[in-house]
Amino acid sequence: MKAEYDLFKMKSRKNPYARQLKKQITLRLDPGVIEYFKQQSKQHGIPYQTLINLYLQDCQNNHRKLKMTWVS
């Protein structure tokens, strides 16, 4: 094994896992929603953004439909 490697001589290649990476977006969430997930994340030891993602994945996997009723 060499004592030192010259990384500038290496050939670059595409990341084979690039399709599996998450996409960064901006969401506008109510402060109470963020605080709820932050509290849950502390209880479970999971970062709150990961927890939100897991919740949304569960909605997607179980084909949950939004039930809304408008009050006049």
Residue 44 lies in a domain: yes
Residue 19 included in any domain: no
Q: Please check whether residue 52 lies inside any domain of the structure.
A: yes
**24-65 confidence digits (pLDDT tens):** 899 999 999 999 999 999 999 999 999 999 999 999 999 999
Total number of domains in the chain: 1
One-letter-per-residue 3-state SS of the chain: CCCCCCHHHCCCCCCCCHHHCCCCCCCCCCHHHHHHHHHHHHHHCCCHHHHHHHHHHHHHHCCCCCCCCCCC
Structural domain harbouring 51: 29-62
Return the pLDDT at 62: 96
Q: Against a cut of 0.75, is the pTM above it?
A: no
- Cα–Cα nearest to 53, from 29, 69, 32: 29
Confidence at residue 23, expressed as pLDDT on a 0 to 100 scale: 86
36 domain residue, yes or no: yes
37 occurs within a structural domain: yes
Would residue 2 count as lying in a domain?
no
